Amino acid sequence: MLKPVTTDIEALKILDELLRWLSAWTIHHANHVRTSADGLKVGGHQASCASMTSIMAALYFHALGPNDRVAVKPHAGPVLHAVHYLLGTQSRETLENFRGLGGAQSYPSRTKDQIPVDFSTGSVGLGVAITAFSSLIQDYLTAHGMMDEADRGRFVALVGDAELDEGNIYEALIEGAKHDVRNLWWILDYNRQSLDATSVDRMFERFDEIFRTCGWRVIELRYGKRLKAALDANPKVKSWFETLSNAELSALHYQGGEAVRKRIEADLGKGVAAFLEAHDDMSLASLFTDLGGHCMESLVEAFDAAQDDVPTLFIAWTIKGYGLPFAGHKDNHAGLMNPTQMAAWREAMGVTEGREWEPLDSVGDNARPGVEALIDKSRIAREKRVRSFSQIEIPSIPAPSGEEQSTQAAFGRILLELAKDGGTLADRIVTTSPDVTVSTNLGAWVNQRGLFRREAVADVFAQQKIASAQKWSAADQGQHIELGIAENNLFLMLAAAGLAGDMFGTRLAPIGTLYDPFIARGLDALNYACYQDARFMLVATPSGITLGPEGGAHQSINPPLIALGQPGLRHYEPAFADELAAMMELAFRLIDDPHGESTYLRLSTRSIRQVERENDDWREGALNGAYWLRSPGHDSEAAIVAMGAVTPEALAAWEELREDIPGLGLLSITSPDLLHRGWTAAQAGRWSGRREASHIEQLLSQLHRHAGLVTIADAAPASLSWLGGVLGQRVAPLGVERFGQTGSLPDLYATYRLDGAAITEAAAEILLQIG
């Protein structure tokens, strides 16, 4: 859909100035006007904001359609707030409390800000890359008839030039190219400065090549109209200008017109006398700062001309701190204007002292109707969207049958059954994996539901009748999105898919699989997904040294500790298939619940004998983090506390020791994460008058108050050793603290002290201590 080219350039220029003022004033107010409670610098990035206000004015008051979503460069957050302040969707009070508790956040936040934020940003690079995955999810939803074509939009990332150093951008670019991603605008705020200094020149020539290679259109906005005309008329000056390094150009921007004149005279001599005579110093300074990213005509023209769905990189040349006293200075990243500088600017703008929050006052009567008309027009669809939940009917998920099973195999079978049975849940599931679909047991699901591609891709092996267990054809109705091996992309994909309900109104049930150790590879993107409250199921398998012959490079040790410290993600580590089925059912519910969260299932390839259950009493405990697999005797002096794949060793040791240690209990831990949360919440609750004991306190209080706990997990022992702190009981922690290695399970369990002998020794130790 083409947008009409009806721009009021003058009004947009005024809006640009208003945004620059408001963003700077918001930061200034927080640092120099608001009373400080602690004497700390509040901070903010006036220069990074000023670099982008023209681009954002052109977007928000002209180019963006109602369905377009924007990831704003983190340190331009105040500009986004200023946009909403002008639109009437941000309050002055919240701006006055910028970077304060409950105030506008320093970096745009979906969950914490009151204005509609399409994508949270903060960790540079991630906000850019996620737009590619959101666009893919939009394609997925429209292909599956879960979203109207008419509701489709474009995904815009406002990118700081130093963000291009983040490798995740290129991983996303490559993955995007494979999936023929579209409807993307990445707008580079090319101010040639990063945090520390001006950026290195050499790479820049290459960026456009990289993007073009990946199928992108690259549009460079180097010159504003005035500068372009002047340089075209003076080719010598043009070639001089184009050979300046980033640092030289930035320094000249900072130094101003007189320095520019001297430098041209020194470099070009008399040959350009006429050019220099035609300009005084002020006009020289103004001319050479007329870069493309600050020229409203150029921006509007470029945006209007790129209305198809081709992914497009705009390289908009800008000046960091444009229009501010420290424009172009290499140290301006965290620079703040002082009160005198702000007062001088206020006066120059015609803003009355005391009316700094009302800069529209300063807009002359002739221009004001035009400015207000643009603001009015832009209000469409910039309201905060309602989050959509409770859309998916979750059936009860039965445990797969079988006396011996691994949790990984059970996971595959549960998904297969869901795929075959059909229903809303099965249709809303979208699976994704970075090249470990088959080895994480997603294969049967994919055979049923197919790979997703906008354009169908045949399974050549199947066509050639070459036997294979795996169907590998793709079509737009497929439900598995296969990724290349880039775990960071997996988490960005889960973030995008896990926000489908918020972003597009249709909640998906995303499941991502990867090997447990490689969670670390995408950790920041995982944190980013959780920070935005994206909802998904993360299935990490295989895990631990239980992986045996695969060796130390693939055996994970610390992910349970990562999960213990990760908000928004619930860790479950089942030992048995029935526990897994219950956890998956709950995980799906949590995806579709306003108060839910994402779930991380740590699974194993070890096939173990399933326990016989007399009833369903275990279920609630298992979902709360622990239950007695073998109940302790009254006031028992000891318990074995085991998690996940090493539960058979714990059961065997329990059998062996129960005669020597009467009343010995066996506590099965399914989620140290939930137990810890419950424990601290109960402690906090007691200070506000609630007296309830947490789940783990209740379980452990069945033992003697000086009882000994032998904890065992195929993971860092600290995952469970903290349990001793709950009631002050003694702990002998068993677990893995050194890198793993290849070996059979008996050999490895003996070497790393995860076997029965280790449990017996630990129990003896702890009982001796009690004695």
Residues of this chain that interact with ligand TPP (CB under 6 A) are 48, 51, 73-75, 123-124, 160-163, 189, 191, 193-195, 320, 333
Partners of 223 in the β-ladder: 291
DSSP-derived secondary structure for 564-582: HT-TTEEEE--SSHHHHHH
Question: In this structure, are strands 665-669 and 626-630 parallel, antiparallel, or unpaired?
Answer: antiparallel
Establish whether the linkage from the previous residue to 542 is cis, with ω within 30° of 0: yes
Pick 144 or 333: Cβ nearer ligand TPP: 333
Q: How far apart are CA 664 and CA 667, in angstroms?
A: 10
- Binding-site residue total for Mg ion (CB under 5 A)? 5
Contacting residue, 23, 134, 191, 378, with Mg ion by CB under 5 A? 191
Query: What is the nearest approach in angstroms of ligand TPP to the Cβ of residue 254?
Result: 14
* The entry of ligand TPP, Mg ion, none that residue 123 binds, CB within 5 to 8 Å by partner kind: ligand TPP
Pick 73 or 453: Cβ nearer ligand TPP: 73
Q: Which stretch binds Mg ion (CB under 5 A): 20-28, 169-177, 188-196, 205-213?
A: 188-196
Query: What is the nearest approach in angstroms of ligand TPP to the Cβ of residue 179?
Result: 25
Query: What is the nearest approach in angstroms of ligand TPP to the Cβ of residue 137?
Result: 23
Q: What are phi and psi of 480, to 5 degrees?
A: -120, 125
Contact string 149-178 vs Mg ion (x = CB under 5 A): -----------xxx----------------
Pick 86 or 525: Cβ nearer ligand TPP: 525
Using DSSP's 3-state secondary structure scheme, residue 396 falls into coil
CB atoms within 10 A of CB 612: 6
Pick 49 or 682: Cβ nearer ligand TPP: 49
Q: What are phi and psi of 508, to 5 degrees?
A: -105, 160
Q: How far apart are CA 337 and CA 335, in angstroms?
A: 7
Using DSSP's 3-state secondary structure scheme, residue 16 falls into helix
* The entry of ligand TPP, Mg ion, none that residue 48 binds, CB within 5 to 8 Å by partner kind: ligand TPP
Pick 200 or 380: Cβ nearer ligand TPP: 200
Pick 16 or 161: Cβ nearer ligand TPP: 161
198 binds Mg ion (CB under 5 A): no
Query: What is the nearest approach in angstroms of ligand TPP to the Cβ of residue 191?
Result: 5
Q: Which stretch binds Mg ion (CB under 5 A): 190-198, 287-295, 353-361, 516-524?
A: 190-198
Contact 198, 244 (CB under 8 A): no
Residue nearest to ligand TPP (CB): 160
* The entry of ligand TPP, Mg ion, none that residue 676 binds, CB within 5 to 8 Å by partner kind: none
Query: What is the nearest approach in angstroms of Mg ion to the Cβ of residue 320?
Result: 6
Q: What is the CA 715 to chain-centroid distance, rounded?
A: 26
Pick 333 or 602: Cβ nearer ligand TPP: 333
Contact 411, 541 (CB under 8 A): yes
Nearest to 533 by CA among 631, 387, 425, 687: 387
Q: What is the CA 488 to chain-centroid distance, rounded?
A: 10
Query: What is the nearest approach in angstroms of Mg ion to the Cβ of residue 51?
Result: 7
CA distances from 377 to 39, 80, 92, 149 (A): 42, 17, 21, 23
Nearest to 26 by CA among 112, 109, 67, 84: 84
Question: In this structure, are strands 451-452 and 636-643 parallel, antiparallel, or unpaired?
Answer: unpaired
Task: Name the amino acid, one letter, at 688.
Answer: S
Q: How far apart are CA 200 and CA 527, in angstroms?
A: 30
Query: What is the nearest approach in angstroms of ligand TPP to the Cβ of residue 121?
Result: 9
558 binds Mg ion (CB under 5 A): no
Q: How far apart are CA 158 and CA 240, in angstroms?
A: 30
Pick 121 or 191: Cβ nearer Mg ion: 191
* The entry of Mg ion, ligand TPP, none that residue 380 binds, CB within 5 to 8 Å by partner kind: none
* The entry of Mg ion, ligand TPP, none that residue 124 binds, CB within 5 to 8 Å by partner kind: ligand TPP
* The entry of ligand TPP, Mg ion, none that residue 649 binds, CB within 5 to 8 Å by partner kind: none
Q: How far apart are CA 276 and CA 237, in angstroms?
A: 10
Query: What is the nearest approach in angstroms of Mg ion to the Cβ of residue 193?
Result: 5
Tokens 């054809």 correspond to: 473
Pick 335 or 648: Cβ nearer ligand TPP: 335
Residues in the chain: 771
Query: What is the nearest approach in angstroms of Mg ion to the Cβ of residue 26?
Result: 20
* The entry of ligand TPP, Mg ion, none that residue 163 binds, CB within 5 to 8 Å by partner kind: ligand TPP
Pick 134 or 191: Cβ nearer Mg ion: 191
Pick 247 or 757: Cβ nearer Mg ion: 247
Pick 81 or 346: Cβ nearer ligand TPP: 81
193 binds Mg ion (CB under 5 A): yes
Contact 753, 734 (CB under 8 A): yes
Q: Which stretch binds Mg ion (CB under 5 A): 191-199, 557-565, 572-580, 590-598?
A: 191-199
Dihedral angle sign, alpha carbons of residues 721, 765, 555, 410: negative
Pick 333 or 554: Cβ nearer ligand TPP: 333
Using DSSP's 3-state secondary structure scheme, residue 269 falls into helix
Query: What is the nearest approach in angstroms of ligand TPP to the Cβ of residue 45?
Result: 6
Query: What is the nearest approach in angstroms of Mg ion to the Cβ of residue 205?
Result: 17
Query: What is the nearest approach in angstroms of ligand TPP to the Cβ of residue 104?
Result: 18
Tokens 């320094």 correspond to: 251
Query: What is the nearest approach in angstroms of ligand TPP to the Cβ of residue 195?
Result: 4
DSSP-derived secondary structure for 520-584: GGGHHHHHHHHHTT---EEEE-S-SGGGGGG-TTT---SHHHHHHT-TTEEEE--SSHHHHHHHH
Contact 192, 250 (CB under 8 A): yes
Binding site for Mg ion (CB under 5 A): 160-162, 191, 193
